[in-house]
Structure 1
Amino acid sequence: MGDSKNHMILPQIEEWFHSGVVGIRQARGKAGRRQLVIDPRPVGDLTRAEGSYGTPYGVVSARWTRRNGRYRLDVELPPNTTAEIRMPTGDHATHVVGSGRHTFTTRDL
């Protein structure tokens, strides 16, 4: 077991969690982490997930919950950043917001 290379998969799992389940990632083609995308992907019977990511401008965080037929997404963006928020709903509602704290709610998926 001392020669195991299984630990190499851990960063990939962490990346999938942050960019997939929680949904935090840099906007495509945008350098510097000023423009972000928050596109959470609730899977299976998960009822909540949260994560954060350090950027040169500060920490971005996202947390979502599914409870009592409601879906809630809380996002906090550091100064001098914007984010496209993509709600995981049937109509894929999208919102563009600036730095600060933002909350979005909808009926459960």
Structure 2
Amino acid sequence: MMLEKNQNLNQLRDQLRNFVAEREWQQFHTPKNLASALIVEAAELLEPFQWLKSGEPEELDAQTRTAIQHEMADVLNYLVMLADRLDINLLDAAHEKIQLNAQKYPVPLARGNAQKYTNLK
């Protein structure tokens, strides 16, 4: 089934629920297993970049871009399934985290500075 271009996270979650239910995989999708799978997929996302100078778009051929796209999709899918299993609204969590980061990294101290917030002065 093709995804709609403007599909939201709830629609993606529902599609993933159906995919998993059809295969009777719910029994395997514990929070620990989903978090583990997420980390594995995140590591696989790094692989196409491993020996590139910077990973900027001009270094990526079509095959590499497709591989990256698929790994990004795997990461997103596992993250959505984990959030569903733990009843976490990802968009709310993301907005909350942006606000928390804005407090930890005030613009006057953080602009152009890659240091951790504990080292900002």
TM range (shorter): under 0.3
Greater helix proportion: 2
Greater strand proportion: 1
Name the TM-score, length of structure 2 as normaliser.
Answer: 0.22
User: Considering only CA atoms, is the larger Rg found in Structure 1 or Structure 2?
Assistant: 2
Name the TM-score, length of structure 1 as normaliser.
Answer: 0.23
